[in-house]
Structures are given as C-alpha cells and as structure tokens.
A = this chain, B = another copy of it.
Amino acid sequence: MKKETSSNSLNEQFLFQSCELNSALKVISGRWKAQIVYSIWSGNDRFSLLKQELSAISEQVLSRQLKELETQAILVKIPIPETVPAGISYRLTSKGIELVPILQALCNWGKQYPEENCIPLSACVTG
C-alpha cells in the first residue's frame, strides 16, 4: 500500500510528469524488467522459460514484473488454447519491440566500459 501523500511519492509523480525520459526510465528500471523484455524478445515466451533463464528470480517477483510490463503495454498475455493446464504465451507489443534497440545500445555502451564483476546472468544477482 502506497502513501500517496508522502514526499517520496510526490517526488515520484513530479518526475514522471516532468519528462518522458522518466516515464521511459521507469519502464526499464528495476532489477529485472529490461532483462525480461530482452528475454521475451529472444524467444522465451513462456513463464517457465523466463523463470529458467532468470534463474535467480522468484515466481512472485517474475509474476509481479510481468503484470507491470503488461500494464505499461510493453507486453501482452496470450492464452494458449486447449492446453492442460492452461498455458500463457507472452509477446512484446510494438512499444516493447521498439524498446529493444535501446536496450542493445545500452548493452554496447556497457561493453565499452567493462566492469570487473561482469558475470553471466544467473550469477548476476546481487543479494
């Protein structure tokens, strides 16, 4: 539950209203969102595939992030008919797809300035 009157919350609203940059940033900030977008884009369109790829993520968090990304119109859930139990396929919207090149640009930027603690994703989780 959020306190809408806290200065923290007010600041958040101010920033969101101030600049498109912030609304964009809000989409890809957080520990997992950008990776989820990237992962879906690269073919992991199922909950279990995402969980496998982002091996350190908990189901709770993955579910939460997916819901947020859906709300932000980055992805859509597509029920897979006649599967038991029910299956859901995740697909990026055009808005989500257009985000990918920017993430790639960020990747390339990161590659130009490598950090020492740069290790594969599964171990990339900081406690």
Binding site for B on A (CB under 8 A): 7, 10-12, 14-25, 28-32, 34-35, 38-39, 42-43, 53, 56-57, 73, 95, 98-99, 101-115, 117-124
Contact = CB atoms under 8 A, between A and B. Distances in A.
Q: Interface on chain A toward B: helix, strand, loop, or mixed SS? A: helix
B34 A25 contact: yes
Rank and list the top 8 A-B pairs by shortest CB-CB distance, nearest first. A20-B110, A24-B110, A24-B106, A19-B124, A18-B121, A21-B107, A19-B121, A29-B29
> In the complex, which of the residues A21, A28, A95 has the most CB atoms of chain B within 10 Å of its own CB atom?
A21
A102 B105 contact: yes
Nearest to A101: B105
A35 B19 contact: yes
A52 B53 CA distance: 43
